[in-house]
Amino acid sequence: MKIIVGLGNPGEKFDGIRHNVGFEILDYLQKEWGCPSFAKHKKFNAQISEGRSDPPADSEKSKFLLLKPQTFMNLSGESVAAVLDFYKLSPGDVVIIHDDLDIALGKYRLATDSSSAGHNGIQNIIDRLGTQKFRRIRVGIGEEVPGEASRCRLNAHDFVLQKFSQDDMEKIRSIKKEIAEELKKFL
């Protein structure tokens, strides 16, 4: 079994904000891959949708979970650790999708065995799992400035809690299919 985790903050007031891009991509995957609606699982303090990759449909190896922790971003490791413990999985069986200020909006990067780079949700997962040896898809939410690395206009806390503009959402939509294809390789 594989676990695909999208990071975000629960609640309607956080819908459409930059920090919730992980939830946004999981919603896309759930629909695109024909998985059932997300359902709350108290044991994991998460919303989960279960799917299967390739046949045979009864194979445990083809099973995967889409997981949206409901602990708020900075405590995401609680849900991730609970699911891995319950299913007796290793950090290598998980991929985390999260926002990254250091990457320009509309771009993403794959990472394995890398530090949190100041992302509190990722740091909490590293702390709870006792390792940083898991896969990540770092989705850019930063501002691209020609000739410079990505940067944000406000302090990071305020910036990540801003809603995406329509133009910003188009840039995110443009990479969802690519991310879905990357994830199929993981499954």
Asked about 98 being catalytic, the answer comes back as no
CB 17 within 8 A of CB 73: no
CA dihedral 110, 114, 117, 119 (to 10 degrees): 70
Six-digit token string for 25: 């991509």
State the Cα–Cα distance between residues 21 and 26, nearest whole angstrom.
Answer: 9
State the Cα–Cα distance between residues 55 and 94, nearest whole angstrom.
Answer: 21
Q: Residue 75 CA to chain centroid, in angstroms?
A: 14
Residues annotated as part of the active site: 19
